[in-house]
């Protein structure tokens, strides 16, 4: 495993759509391992392959406080959303920046694991936010384009 460099700011790969993964092989396993190590090292709760310069539909997520809830999703797609939540959001590709974003409170994602087995995952709250944020990266979208004016409850004194 290795920590990869996280692309930031105006790196072109952050604004391009990623291509589906077709081969569930050692190269994919290495990418997933490296992405998890990179995410944990950067103290993030999610990372998409374009953020490390790889235009493939791969994300890793871990919103658990113990950092023992790693989710690996290959070719993920959001198949259902409901509700609404708003909150401050950041991104490893835009260090030291945050913005208020409104997203669905519940999301259901269909994806494959590293071995090509399909699964569905229902996320609520922070997990739903992370799933939606990372899947946006796969379509070349960054959270900064979703930022709205900050409600009073989030304004700094």
Q: Which three-class secondary structure state does DSSP give residue 137? A: helix
- Residue 21 in contact with residue 58, Cβ under 8 Å? yes
Residue 80 to residue 109: CA distance in whole angstroms: 7
> Known catalytic residue: 80?
no
Annotated catalytic residue within 66, 72, 84, 134: 134
Residue 68 to residue 8: CA distance in whole angstroms: 26
Strand partners, 80: 108
- Residue 105 in contact with residue 128, Cβ under 8 Å? yes
DSSP 93-117: TSTT-EEEEEE-SEEEEEEE-TTS-
- Residue 4 in contact with residue 47, Cβ under 8 Å? no
Give catalytic residue positions. 134
């Amino acid at each position: 495993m290795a920590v990869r460099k996280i692309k930031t700011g105006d790196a072109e790969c952050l604004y391009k759509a990623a291509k589906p993964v077709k081969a569930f092989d050692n190269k994919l396993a290495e990418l997933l391992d490296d992405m998890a190590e990179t995410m944990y090292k950067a103290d993030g709760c999610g990372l998409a392959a374009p953020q490390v310069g790889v235009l493939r539909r791969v994300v890793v997520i871990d919103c658990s406080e113990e950092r023992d809830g790693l989710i690996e999703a290959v070719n993920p797609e959001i198949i259902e959303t409901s509700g609404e939540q708003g909150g401050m959001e950041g991104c490893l590709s835009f260090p030291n920046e945050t913005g208020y974003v409104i997203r669905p409170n519940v999301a259901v994602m269909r994806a494959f694991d590293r071995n090509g087995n399909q699964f569905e995952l229902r996320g609520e709250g922070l997990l739903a936010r992370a799933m939606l944020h990372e899947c946006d990266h796969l379509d070349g979208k960054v959270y900064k384009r979703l930022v709205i004016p900050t409600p009073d409850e989030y304004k700094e004194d």
